[in-house]
Structure 1
């Protein structure tokens, strides 16, 4: 057995190179990395019925081991069916193989063990790169040594100098055991080699399952070393397999198989060098081109920003404004070098810090993440948009900063941070009485109305959610984060995109599933936020409590005539008239109706907020009322979304 069949180099500059090498190596080394097991062990235990619960639990366990072992660092022990026919399983990969080899080996073992030990209640199987065991009796953390010799030992030739070799082998095995006993890592494995005069190098490997203690590991390996020296101390290779530990050694020579390997490896090396050189040239050219494009984009952005400091944003604006380009070092000092103590929060595109300018003015700095997919265009989009927008219920952009890869947006500082910080916190939520909540709802509505109808541009926000609604000292709501906003022409009503951006739970169904967005998409998001403000809970929290999402739950209560059961008790206790709350729920349901055409405009919403609820139209069933969200995207689409405050990107190839 070869202790090092092959290792794929980490950090190869080209995916193409990796795939080509993988295919080449798998083909050439197929004979040396056999898929046949080294040994399997099926003690004389009872059998289980093929169609029983025990069989179902075992299949589930083997599937879990197959999928999880490589993800958990090469070791996994789990149990399935604790209440009915429990089965316990363990898989261990050799510490010197990568996750791909580990995953393939455990997958093979989980499949083959059922063939080699059919319907057995206890079984273990060993391969060159992994071992797997299951039992209907709990065996975790128990070390009962029962070392076994695989047939591989019988194929090893004798060494030419047995006495000298035996002494060197004894020292090597002791060093392996000592190394594991003193090793502070969690791998519980060791690999060493020793020189054998006139023979070559003997390589040794020791490893234990990680459920047992270090002491039990050492005891298991010492028992294995005694048995291994008894059987194979004069051979060029030996292997001792146990359910808790494995011990192996092998001599590397230049004869026979080793000579064949050298020829093969030499051929591969030439191929690797050619592929590597070609891929390096390709990679460097691409990188140079990409860096050139990035540099051009950065320069263009910087030029645009500087132009904005020297002239008005638009000659057509009634209230022209200038956007300062603030020095990066100034921002760095103002935020205490972007220290954690100044951190206000983190969003999908970067981290927000509190800062104080030399004149004492407080600010909030959004430092766009270098890994964020919001690049130059999105950054420029947000800057240009906010610079043109002036409204009491929109956050004010004070300036921006660009230096190298750093892109910063500087906003007015909001002392009460954002709506989600209050509304979803059981303690802070108590500070939001009925009147404050109604004012916040009205402020969000008026901010959206300005974006949709009152500003010179018709703007769709596309990512409206509580974390993007900021609150000032007086708890006035201000809409923020316009990186994903889109400008519509005056006579344009809808648009379609294959790049869906936003937050599931707040995205309208036509946008999430078809990429169609309009002002009614923002109306839907507003409706969800309104209902969250009234209930004081996140839209996904109802899944745990009631098995339904927010919209399905409130629709059921509305249909049953019990909508007040949905309302946060602290809001009810501080409200003089429950009619105001019922009107809000009614408006919220109108905003989240399945069909965009049925939803009101924001100008309608403003009127409704001041109208007797008896004059409002009856809402139709909202989108996702069955509590099931389906998002479809074809192979050429890009879905970028966030669940509450956590951004998730699911990128598919173009």
Structure 2
């Protein structure tokens, strides 16, 4: 199918066409039946095919960054068909983006982007901003999708020039019935534009975001009486930008190419193509839309009566069905509303005594656009990566209004399945407290993404595991963090609408905001109970070794006291400045933090357990001693001996008023030390190994043997 470029409804002379093309630095080629448009935003015309070293601009740092990004673009964009990359700093920073047609295979996408990258390097090497459109104009039936777009710039924001840029091209041949053809075109393109922007509509699901195809019949009797449309937006644009670009392009094609059998419109933010022959896989479409039927004029009373009879025959059953649907819908809505009043929003109770995880209703958080999140995280670039875990990776993002966010990206092979993701969304959407991380939204379009408020100081674990950063935590900050975690637990256990047990409380799940305020995060394995339920038994204990209470690790008994045990371990870690799993290799006989603190507590030399870095800034001994005592009480082996969250908050806020009423802490759970005898604690028994190390355990495990290398095997599933 022959093509032409046009800027007028009826076409212009060849001289005017060439002048327009030259002034816009736009090039049309016919090699291999392909044509290419390029737009170099520079007053200097591009060279026909210069070598990389022939222009002085190619020696700049900016151009070196552009070339590096163009080389990396094909492989980066191939998996999804789109990529937005950046490199450099300051005025030398370059931005490159590339888009393949939504139905392109990864292999084709790599080939087309590589060719387009070579073209833009040869034509626009003296420009700071440029773009190239590489398309197929051969007219072959169902060819490979040979469209791609590549642009580079010195900023990631679109200019007014780029927003308004539209370049149409048309087929030479014309249709006979222009009025019907244009009417069908407007109806088809309006439908496809809505599908591309909103991702919904008839037909099979789109293979890519912001991409839609479809067909419309404008002449049922003609051999080529069906038109085929394709619309696509650059995926780093917002839905509003996509809609505006598509609507302008849809209006432009008839104004420039009225009556022609097909055409394309190139823009920086979108792409439009319409033909009277199929040029993509028709399996992407639903059934073609028929041309608008001509208006019929009925003459005579008989025809009018027939029409009324047909109308009534259709309207009565349809109206009856609609009425039934409305009645049923109202009934279901009211019943659901009554249930929500009885059990609380989003909850369904099988009985009055327990709420199981599968009974918790799903509260859908705000849905965020995947395109917006890709733009906010610079297409999940490595420089924005905050960390990773069993669930996947976490990236820092910046929205258009400047708000910082944290995006949790669930990997395809993540050990955190959909049920855990759903559990986290349900609980995080229901729970609102200053010491809990706030859920901002979710995106489940192509991949599972959860968006939280951004915490600039990362996790508490980053401070405890780094000796240099730990020095930034003076005692006032540590005490404030301890109190904040306790208030968060009090809300989860007693003050929220649900009694929530976190089950994986540890320093890496305590995040710190800009003011070092702690916020509990990661509710993937949390459990929600009814208000009067005290504990439950799970068949699959999950959590992190070292922070799991003994009754939960051994027998699966989970309760609020399980979280209190984890909290106690964190408190002792904050005081000592040592991780719970870090062994003491000095002159101390203790081989763990709990053992070391307990030994010093019995000896009355608590000053020896305090983090040495606190001595430089000073600390109130009474307050530190109170926290050590609270930590030991929280890690008692018997859950009944541990205080609840309200008692912990009270002891932290008023240590003197409650000290006389407290019971003295006894030996904690999981104490591993040498030099102890069974007489040290009559209620427990120990098994001594050949090297003199004794494992202090409860009576139920007194027959357990300890291997010489002190290693044990556990079937728990730590996160």
TM range (shorter): 0.3 to 0.5
TM-score by length of 1: 0.47
TM-score by length of 2: 0.43
